[in-house]
Amino acid sequence: MVAATRLPKKVLPDRDAAAIARLAADPESLYVEFQPQYQLEKSLDASFKR
């Protein structure tokens, strides 16, 4: 999908990539991002929790 845009690839410096990863991978961010999918799965079929 990204290749279809024909936009040039931009490589981030390691320092910037590390900062983004650190911000995106903290427990609160991961929890907030995961909750909608978890709630959907739970409402569709809660047997996955067994």
Letter for the amino acid at 28? E
> So what's the pLDDT on residue 16?
96
> Is residue 7 situated within a structural domain?
no
> Is residue 18 situated within a structural domain?
yes
> Is residue 5 situated within a structural domain?
no
Mean pLDDT of the chain: 90
The tally of domains found in the chain comes to 1
Q: How far is CA 6 from CA 2, 3, 10, 13, in A?
A: 8, 6, 12, 22
Distance from C-alpha of 47 to C-alpha of 50, rounded to nearest angstrom: 6
> Is residue 38 situated within a structural domain?
yes
Can you give the residue range of the structural domain that contains 32? 12-49
Residue 49 pLDDT > 80: no
> Is residue 3 situated within a structural domain?
no
> Is residue 43 situated within a structural domain?
yes
Quote the pTM value: 0.53
Distance from C-alpha of 17 to C-alpha of 11, rounded to nearest angstrom: 9
